């Protein structure tokens, strides 16, 4: 079965600084990979996804992520963080050869200082 | 275009009671998935309904059951509630079983 590890529970950055959130997955084949964001009191919103092809994926709100098969990673990046980016971020992996149902990590809470 | 709507938004139950949560999918979607999100954790997959049948199920006991109606809306039922069932229950809809998931804002269940 697939699994996801998000090693950072909390990340604090200053507004305008760059951001990288780490995600490592476990799956025997090429996975489907996702990043979701959850703001307080709201549901999850898909930021970006990787199914195949170009390993650098562009998403909404200026986010991007890079699939690195050799490192089993799918880290999320943003060059300049805005205060409105403060939220919970979840990485998820789906089984490309099976059910596709995303399995989520425990999340990383992003705190943005002015 | 209404997104995924869930009701109720908050509810409080006591141990041993039963609860029903409801979900209306996004317009045009025919598949509904349910997730449980405990405090400080990521969402955990409960089950998925398509064509009014449970198609996939996560590692949850039989106390968790569901239903999908002909209009694609869905219910999640939990019997014999335990304190550990306290969580945010998220509904996600998609077009087909492989479609992108769109999430509702969730139903916050507290079991006392």
Q: What is the pLDDT of residues A7-48, one digit of tens each?
A: 999 999 999 999 999 999 998 788 899 999 999 878 899 999
Closest to B49 (Cα-Cα) out of B66, B24, B28, B70: B66
Kindly determine whether residue B97 and residue A100, on different chains, have CB atoms separated by under 8 Å. Answer: yes
The whole-number pLDDT of residue A27 equals 86
A51 in contact with B, Cβ within 8 Å = no
Average the pLDDT over B71-85 and give the result: 98
Look at residues A38, A78, A86, A37 and name the one whose alpha carbon lies nearest to residue A58: A78
The answer, yes or no, to whether residue A96 has pLDDT greater than 70, is no
In Å, what is the CA distance from B83 to each residue of A46, A84, B61, B76, B110? Answer: 31, 34, 15, 17, 8
Please check whether residue A19 touches B, CB under 8 A: no
Distance CA A105, CA A6 (A): 6
Q: State residue A82 phi and psi, 5-degree precision.
A: -105, 155
Residues B41-49, mean pLDDT to the nearest whole number: 95
For B108, name the nearest residue in chain A, comparing CA atoms only. A41
The predicted model gives A65-94 an average pLDDT of: 96
Mean pLDDT computed over B43-62: 94
Per-position b or e across A15-53, b if 16+ CB within 10 A of its CB: eeeebebbbbbebeeebbbbbbbbeeeebbebbbbbeee
Cβ–Cβ contact A59 with B under 8 A: no
**Closest to B69 in 3D by CA, of B28, B30, B35:** B30
What are B2-11's pLDDT values in tens digits? 799 999 999 9
Record: contact B43-A90, CB cut-off 8 A? yes
């Amino acid at each position: 079965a697939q699994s996801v590890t998000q090693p950072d529970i909390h990340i604090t950055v200053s507004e305008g600084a760059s951001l990288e959130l780490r995600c490592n997955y476990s799956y025997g084949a090429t996975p489907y990979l996702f990043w979701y964001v959850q703001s307080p009191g709201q549901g999850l919103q898909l930021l970006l996804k990787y199914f195949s092809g170009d390993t650098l994926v562009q998403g909404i709100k200026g986010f991007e992520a890079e699939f690195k098969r050799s490192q089993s990673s799918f880290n999320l990046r943003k060059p300049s963080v805005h205060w409105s980016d403060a939220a919970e971020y979840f990485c998820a992996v789906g089984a490309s050869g099976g059910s596709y149902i995303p399995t989520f990590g425990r999340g990383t809470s992003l705190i943005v200082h002015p | 275009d209404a997104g995924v709507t869930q009701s109720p938004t908050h509810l409080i139950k006591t141990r041993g009671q039963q609860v029903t949560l409801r979900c209306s999918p996004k317009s045009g979607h025919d598949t509904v998935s349910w997730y449980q999100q405990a405090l400080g954790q990521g969402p955990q997959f409960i089950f998925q309904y398509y064509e009014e049948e449970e198609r996939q199920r996560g590692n949850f006991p039989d106390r968790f059951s569901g239903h999908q109606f002909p209009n694609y809306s869905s219910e999640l039922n939990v019997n014999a509630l335990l304190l550990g069932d306290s969580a945010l229950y998220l509904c996600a809809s998609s077009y087909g079983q492989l479609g992108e998931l769109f999430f509702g804002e969730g139903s916050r269940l507290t079991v006392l």
